[in-house]
């Protein structure tokens, strides 16, 4: 029988692998290396972990459904709502007249975020999908969203340890796009691979 703890452990190990690859190829932010991260870095990384673990809990619960059990308490929805504070704050600040920093407007800088986050998410999402193939998820479309959301959150967390930006605008735009892109890819790809 499939064990939820195994799926959770695989996702955590895959995230550690992604973090290690980012560290080896790109290095970490200087403030993280000095163990003195800026508050915005702690907030964004913490929010990504909360969203990643909340959606991961829903994924592993849905791998072995049973009658009379909800499978997911919906905590991932609350975590997603909390993560939406970053783009919403950015929008409010723009309407309040605060200038958007050039790093948040630079498409090349943003593409680095999307690519690194996406590759890191692929490692996590691949591990989760292989594990899910042993299970019996009854809602492949929903599971696809959740795998993408969890992998995207963990993958963007790995990139965030290297990301030199310290503005809410950058997080609100590029991190949101990275996680959303992974969620959409998860919805499009994962159901075809786990259908039974």
Q: What is the pLDDT of residues 63-98, one digit of tens each?
A: 876 644 554 567 889 899 999 999 999 999 999 999
Which residue in 65, 72, 58 sits closest to 144, CA to CA? 58
The rounded distance, in Å, linking the Cα atoms of 51 and 31 is 23
Check: pTM over 0.85? Answer yes or no: yes
Q: What is the dihedral of CA 30, 49, 178, 32, to 10 degrees?
A: 0
**Beta strand ranges found along 30-169 (DSSP E):** none
* DSSP summary character for residue 38: -
- On whether the CB atoms of residues 169 and 40 are closer than 8 A, the answer is no
- On whether the CB atoms of residues 110 and 177 are closer than 8 A, the answer is yes
pLDDT tier, 196 (very low <50, low <70, confident <90, very high otherwise) = low
């Amino acid at each position: 029988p499939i064990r939820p703890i195994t799926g959770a452990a695989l996702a955590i190990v895959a995230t550690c692998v992604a973090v290690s690859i980012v560290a080896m190829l790109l290095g970490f932010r200087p403030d993280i290396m000095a163990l003195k991260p800026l508050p915005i870095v702690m907030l964004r990384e913490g929010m990504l972990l909360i969203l990643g673990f909340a959606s991961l809990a829903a994924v592993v619960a849905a791998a072995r459904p049973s009658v009379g059990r909800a499978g997911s308490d919906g905590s991932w929805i609350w975590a997603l709502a909390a993560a939406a504070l970053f783009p919403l704050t950015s929008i409010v600040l723009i309407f309040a007249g605060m200038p958007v920093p050039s790093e948040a407007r630079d498409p090349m800088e943003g593409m680095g975020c999307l690519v690194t986050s996406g590759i890191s998410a692929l490692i996590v999402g691949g591990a989760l999908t292989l594990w899910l193939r042993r299970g019996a998820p009854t809602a492949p479309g929903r599971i696809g969203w959740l795998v993408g959301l969890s992998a995207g959150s963990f993958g963007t967390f790995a990139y965030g340890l290297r990301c030199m930006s310290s503005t809410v605008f950058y997080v609100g735009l590029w991190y949101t796009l990275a996680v959303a892109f992974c969620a959409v890819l998860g919805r499009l790809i994962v159901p075809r691979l786990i259908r039974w």
